[in-house]
Amino acid sequence: MKLLEVQNNQLFNIDAIHFLGKDEFRNTVAVLMQNGNRMIALTPIDKSDPQKIIAVLSDSSSSMIGVVGGDFSKGKLEFESWANDFPQTHYFECELSENYGYVPVNHPWLRPVRKQNVILGNKPYQFFKLEGEEIHEVAVGPIHAGVIEPGHFRFQCHGELVYNLEINLGYQHRGVEKLFLQSSPNQQIILSESIAGDTTIGHTFAHCNAIECLSHTQLSLRAEVVRTIASEIERIAMHLSGLGGIANDIGFALPASSYGRLRTLAINSLASICGSRSGRGLFIYGGVRFDLNDEIINTVVNNLKIVQNDVRQVNEYLFSSVGALSRLEETGIVKKDLAQNVGLVGLAARSSGLEEDARIHFPYSAYRYNPISMITLSTGDVFARARLRALEIDEALRFIFDQIENLPQGEIKSDIGNVTANSGAISIIEGWRGEIAHIVFTDEKRNLLNYKIKDPSFNNWYGLSLALRETAISDFPLCNKSFDLSYAGHDL
Amino acid sequence: MNDAIKIRILQGDQIIHDVRNASLPELFRGLPTIEDKACSDDCNKCAEVCPTNAIKLNPVRIDLGLCVFCPLCEETCPEKIIHFTNNYHTAVDRTEKLIVTKETKSISPEKSSEKIRKYFGKSLKLRQISAGGCNGCELELNALSNVSFDMGRYGIEFVASPRHADGIVITGPITQNMSKAIDICYDAVPNPKIIILFGACAISGGIFQNTGEIQRKFLEENKIDLYIPGCPPHPLTFINGLLDWLDKV
């Protein structure tokens, strides 16, 4: 098969990509997906020349990433859609179509991804409609009843029961990918911190890995360990925030406020490391800006010990309450097969029993030498997504204490050179939501040709839609919180 | 029941009693100071590294509306005249006050008008609108209701409907796709109403100032009452700004 196989954070020359004719391209990608590969991106390598595209597919079993090129310069920008056989590609095809005018022929549901009032074919996009005597429609958003990001949701219901939920996003679109191409390196780091402000460390981690890979920069072990510690603190903080939100949505005030209190300890630990509660300013190219001295280590360890002790008791309280369990269990189920078919990643995938964790399958930075355990649950309901958070907090705490105890000595910054010309790099990391991918290409003059970002929310929003099917509409806030997806990360 | 009491005892007393003088970690980057020292000839390094063009030269001035509080200028300055303090009292009521110069020692908003204080002094309900906010600012605004900050004790709360609100808090650079929603939401808020801009993106566009995807007409058409600089601003900056502004000291 003609494809380029690379590892996570492995530099490759653009010329090493085989650009196939469109039929061969389509078939190669289909065969790869048939073999269990998952799509990560469908994008041109040069944003200004969309006729040459690549499909990036990951194979968790071999830890390899496949890059298949397709040359559409002869003939129309058209290909036979994969989505009928492999629903996971549905949204990637929509994105390619919206951004570059490709037509995925026989696509089951071509819809806008980020743009509003788009014309598809010749007519404006119409929301999915369900007809019937007692069917009614509920539309909410973009502004919701809370301090959260904007998005539009349309429910087609029969009484309380939701038959279909259509999620329409794009309100947060700031043009991040385009902005990357016109920004200086200093700006790019700030920009990656702001892709999704709740995953500041995750996205900056992926960005720095990509740029360091392009510039052959070797990090010190200490810098890598500090980065992974910060990344796990972010996971703990956001999982606590998620658990608090779930408790709040079922009207269980005591755990809700307790989780909120514990999250404060976690983010204050980040603030003691780098001055920002969300971890801004910590990452620089070639390492980290702030070192861990004894005083900071003490603060972090003390804070996290309290979290470790208290969270167990709060978890026990929440998960032993019959009232809470009756709300969480068998609500918003996504079964394993479905999760695999639509290509869920991260937390949501692991709750449904899928083994997807970039820290294990595509190890990077300090996870290469210091493994972390992957936890999966099987029920795929709100309970599983809540419980998995609790278990992952435990494991992250163990990992952090372990790392701090064995903190390697050395510098925290390495010198960084120029990025390599005419090259590409694929950087995958596991944010707290799931797989974050940054894919970068440079031209002969070392300028960026394309900067493609994939937030885990891009995969998982459709999972939320499916979770809502045959579920009471009143459970929507609970289901939504159990996925806790990013609007900004999706809209870019 | 016993478990509930146990959890409650475990929680202890978390509230920050003195929000005016609470101390933040050394490394927290709040109000910058600029030392009264001459720059070396033609040095423009701070302005050059600034990712959001927040620094103007001759003399050095930092626009906190644009600043994302990364420490690049502090690190780069050869004379070390720029220094970020951990002073979080940075909310102001006019854009001119956002410009930090060598003379700036502290900044704070002017007291609001008597009418505003009469209407909102005891109870202020706010509707938050995220218009391209990355969820960094939103998380900090949510934190205001948690057990540590407990902004509700001052009668200041976030509400679900603009009809119940006395004003709006905007986060994010205001994307084109949100510009219409923001107009509709603001219209639905009864008079008199206030507008608060939270974070660098809302105040100036921040790191997104040069993307073509934002539409900031709303801000030109309406009077802004309070600016809360930061990326994201600390919750204490928001509380203190409002307490100063409403004269609830």
Q: Which residue of B has its CA nearest to A179?
A: B211
Task: Report pLDDT digits (tens) over A444-456.
Answer: 998 899 999 999 9
- CB nearest A147 (choices: B128, B181, B211): B128
Average pLDDT over residues A146-164: 90
Domains and their CATH numbers in chain A: 4-113 (3.30.460.80), 183-454 (1.10.645.10)
Task: Report pLDDT digits (tens) over A133-150.
Answer: 888 899 887 898 888 899
Residue A120 pLDDT: 63
Judged against a pLDDT cut of 80, whether residue A310 lies above it is answered with yes
Q: Which residues of A touch B212 (CB under 8 A)?
A: 175, 178
ipTM of the assembly? 0.90
Q: Rounded distance, CA B143 to CA B158, Å?
A: 11
Cβ of B25 within 8 Å of Cβ of A271? The answer is yes
**A50: which 2 tokens?**
């969309």
Question: Which distant-in-sequence residues (6+ apart) come within 8 Å of A358 by Cβ?
Answer: A8, A364, A428, A429, A430, A435, A436
Residue A129 pLDDT: 86
Q: Rounded to a whole number, what is the distance in Å from the CA of A114 to chain B's nearest CA?
A: 9
- The answer to the question of residue B140 being in a domain is yes
> Positive or negative, the Cα torsion across A297, A300, A303, A309?
negative
Average pLDDT over residues A15-26: 89
Judged against a pLDDT cut of 70, whether residue B101 lies above it is answered with yes
- The answer to the question of residue B60 being in a domain is no
| Helix axes of A200-214 and A185-193: crossing angle, nearest 10 degrees | 150
Cβ of A197 within 8 Å of Cβ of B136? The answer is yes
Q: Rounded distance, CA A372 to CA A367, Å?
A: 7
Whether A178 has its CB under 8 Å from any CB of chain B: the answer is yes
Question: Which distant-in-sequence residues (6+ apart) come within 8 Å of A229 by Cβ?
Answer: A292, A400, A403, A404
Judged against a pLDDT cut of 80, whether residue A119 lies above it is answered with no
CB of B119 within 8 A of CB of B192?
yes
Question: Which distant-in-sequence residues (6+ apart) come within 8 Å of B224 by Cβ?
Answer: B195, B196, B197
- The answer to the question of residue B25 being in a domain is no
Q: Which residues of A touch B173 (CB under 8 A)?
A: 174
Query: How many H-runs (helices) and E-runs (strands) does chain B carry?
Result: 9, 10
Whether B138 has its CB under 8 Å from any CB of chain A: the answer is yes
Judged against a pLDDT cut of 90, whether residue A227 lies above it is answered with yes
Cα–Cα distances (Å) from B68 to A100, A192, B144, in that order, read: 33, 13, 21
What is chain B's alpha carbon radius of gyration, rounded to the nearest angstrom? Answer: 19
Cα–Cα distances (Å) from A135 to A125, A127, A139, A157, A475, in that order, read: 21, 15, 13, 6, 18
Percent share of chain A, pLDDT over 70? 99
Residue A68 pLDDT: 92
Q: Rounded to a whole number, what is the distance in Å from the CA of A197 to chain B's nearest CA?
A: 4
Domain extent, residue B173, equals 114-245
Confidence of residue A121 (pLDDT cuts 50, 70, 90): low
Q: Which residue of B has its CA nearest to A197?
A: B136
Whether A276 has its CB under 8 Å from any CB of chain B: the answer is yes
Q: Which residues of B touch A187 (CB under 8 A)?
A: 51-52, 207
Whether A179 has its CB under 8 Å from any CB of chain B: the answer is yes
Task: Report pLDDT digits (tens) over A29-77.
Answer: 999 999 989 999 999 988 888 899 999 999 988 999 999 999 888 888 8
Q: Which residues of B touch A306 (CB under 8 A)?
A: none
Whether B234 has its CB under 8 Å from any CB of chain A: the answer is yes
Q: State the pairing for strand pair B226-228/A161-168.
A: unpaired
- Give the mutation candidate from A194, A262, A321, A487 for the B interface (greatest B CB count, under 10 A): A194
Judged against a pLDDT cut of 80, whether residue A91 lies above it is answered with yes
- The answer to the question of residue B118 being in a domain is yes
Within 469-488 of A, beta carbons closer than 8 Å to B belong to 486-488
CB of A97 within 8 A of CB of A91?
no
Average pLDDT over residues A422-433: 93
Q: Rounded distance, CA A228 to CA A370, Å?
A: 10
- The answer to the question of residue B89 being in a domain is no
Q: Rounded to a whole number, what is the distance in Å from the CA of A66 to chain B's nearest CA?
A: 31
CB of A238 within 8 A of CB of B136?
no
- The answer to the question of residue B33 being in a domain is no
Cβ of A146 within 8 Å of Cβ of B160? The answer is yes
Query: In this complex, how many residue pairs, one in chain A and one in chain B, have their CB atoms less than 8 Å apart?
Result: 186
- CB nearest A275 (choices: B14, B27, B134): B27
Whether A281 has its CB under 8 Å from any CB of chain B: the answer is yes
Residue B37 pLDDT: 83
Percent share of chain B, pLDDT over 70? 100
The Cβ of residue B18 has, within 10 Å, a number of other Cβ atoms equal to 8
Average pLDDT over residues A191-208: 94
CB of A265 within 8 A of CB of A236?
no
SS3 A258: helix
Q: Which residues of B touch A277 (CB under 8 A)?
A: 140, 234
Cβ of B142 within 8 Å of Cβ of A147? The answer is yes
Cβ of B181 within 8 Å of Cβ of A147? The answer is no
Q: Rounded distance, CA B93 to CA B16, Å?
A: 25
Whether A463 has its CB under 8 Å from any CB of chain B: the answer is no
* Beta strands, E only, A227-361: 283-284, 287-288
Cβ of A488 within 8 Å of Cβ of B208? The answer is no
**B47: which 2 tokens?**
């302005």
Q: Rounded to a whole number, what is the distance in Å from the CA of B178 to chain A's nearest CA?
A: 6
Q: State the pairing for strand pair A4-6/A64-71.
A: antiparallel
Question: Which distant-in-sequence residues (6+ apart) come within 8 Å of A365 by Cβ?
Answer: A205, A209, A219, A224, A227, A228, A429
Q: Rounded distance, CA A12 to CA A422, Å?
A: 9
Cβ of A195 within 8 Å of Cβ of B4? The answer is no
Q: Find how far residue A167's CA is from the centre of its chain.
A: 17
- The answer to the question of residue B105 being in a domain is no
Q: Which residue of A has its CA nearest to B183?
A: A143
Q: State the pairing for strand pair B167-171/B194-198.
A: parallel
Angle, vertex CA A304, rays to CA A302 and CA A307, nearest 5: 115
Average pLDDT over residues B185-208: 93
Whether B175 has its CB under 8 Å from any CB of chain A: the answer is yes
Question: Which distant-in-sequence residues (6+ apart) come within 8 Å of A188 by Cβ?
Answer: A180, A207, A211
Average pLDDT over residues B88-99: 92
Q: b/e string for A445-472 if b means 16 or more Cβ within 10 A?
A: eeebbbbbbbbbbbbbbbbbbbbbeebb
The more confidently predicted of residues A48 and A263 is A263
Q: Rounded distance, CA A205 to CA A192, Å?
A: 9
Q: Rounded distance, CA A139 to CA A153, Å?
A: 6
SS3 A440: strand
Average pLDDT over residues A408-431: 91
Whether A200 has its CB under 8 Å from any CB of chain B: the answer is yes
Q: Rounded to a whole number, what is the distance in Å from the CA of A277 to chain B's nearest CA?
A: 8
CATH number at residue B239: 3.40.50.12280
CB of B96 within 8 A of CB of B107?
no
φ, ψ (nearest 5 deg) of residue B194:
-120, 160
- The answer to the question of residue B86 being in a domain is no
Average pLDDT, chain B: 90
Cβ of A175 within 8 Å of Cβ of B212? The answer is yes
Residue A265 pLDDT: 93
> Positive or negative, the Cα torsion across A242, A243, A244, A249?
positive
Task: Report pLDDT digits (tens) over A270-300.
Answer: 999 999 999 999 999 999 999 999 999 999 9
Within 78-107 of B, beta carbons closer than 8 Å to A belong to none
Confidence of residue A460 (pLDDT cuts 50, 70, 90): very high
Residue B242 pLDDT: 92
φ, ψ (nearest 5 deg) of residue A175:
75, 40
Overall domain count for chain B? 1
